[in-house]
Amino acid sequence: MIRSITISLLFLSIISSHFSFAQNSDFIMDERDGNIYLVAKFNATWWMCQNLKYNISEGSVCYEADETNCMLKGRLYSQEAAMEACPEGYHLPTDEEWKELESYIGMDKDELDKKFNRNTGTVGKFLRMGGGLGFDADYIGMVNPKGNSSHAGRRAYFWTSSADDNGFGWIRIIEKTKDGVERQAYDKNNKLTVRCVKAGVANPVTETEAAPAIKTEDEKVKPKQRDPSERKQGERKQGERNPEDRKRKQEKQGKEKIPD
């Protein structure tokens, strides 16, 4: 009980201090391993605001081979593994989806397709840890194809699902001391962070159908009181006699009449 209350208070604290750009936020559970992730909607796309932790069978590692880093900061994936690791309903964002996010928070259009550090405004500040957007890029670093870990505490590396003309995977780098967002193409065997997205939907995957509203006594539907003038064919007004009864009465009265 104490654990659940502590977690709830932590989640409320996270929500209340973030999302200056987000239109909505929620939590989703990865049913494969039970991990829970904070998600936020930026424009038309839902983004995970925490690094993916799913342990795919091949192609993911922990920084410095320390499982504690995986548990606290998330796993690092090759691009191929990253494209298979997202939970159902979510996917690894494309290079274009990253550009949409960057444009949404203020990057100039003429910088979106550039490589290396793009310095428009404070886009990098918004995306980094505690930057106010809620994205909270965690400087977990990377692991190169040789297995060497580097840049923890300084840089956050994120895969996209896209590749350049030479077959290298497009990535994003957010650095603790820079305001821009780097766009580079890396060897697909590097192990980087993953943030999954769900695009073009109104609600996150955890939202359930709203329960029917309970009506008050005044709101409950009452039988419609029909206008007396709106009678069905052959229907009589209240107290009106049947024509056959009226005819029989007249005949009876005629028989009882005394002749002159």
What is the H or E stretch that residue 29 is in?
strand 24-29
pLDDT tens, position by position, 1-33: 333 333 443 444 444 444 555 668 999 999 999
pLDDT at 255: 52
Inter-CA distances, 122 with 80, 107, 131, 174, Å: 31, 8, 10, 12
Range in 92-101, 108-117, 165-174 the model is least confident about:
108-117
In the three-class reduction of DSSP (H, G, I as helix; E, B as strand; rest coil), residue 37 is classed as: strand
* Adjacent-strand bridge partners of 36: 29
Mean pLDDT, residues 176-187: 92
- 19 vs 192, which has greater pLDDT? 192
Which one, of 64, 82, 52, 50, lies nearest residue 150 by Cα?
64
List, in order, residues 6 or more apart from 165 with CB less than 8 Å away: none
Q: CA 245 → CA 41, 129, 234, 251, distances in Å?
A: 75, 91, 15, 10
Taking only Cα atoms into account, the Rg of the chain, rounded to an integer number of angstroms, comes to 34
Angle among Cα 104, 108, 114 to the nearest 5 degrees reads: 110
Choose among 60, 61, 4: nearest CA to 36. 4
When pLDDT is averaged across residues 211-228 and rounded to a whole number, the result is 38
Dig out the tokens for 16 from the structure.
Answer: 């209340």
Sign of the alpha-carbon torsion through 59, 62, 67, 71? negative
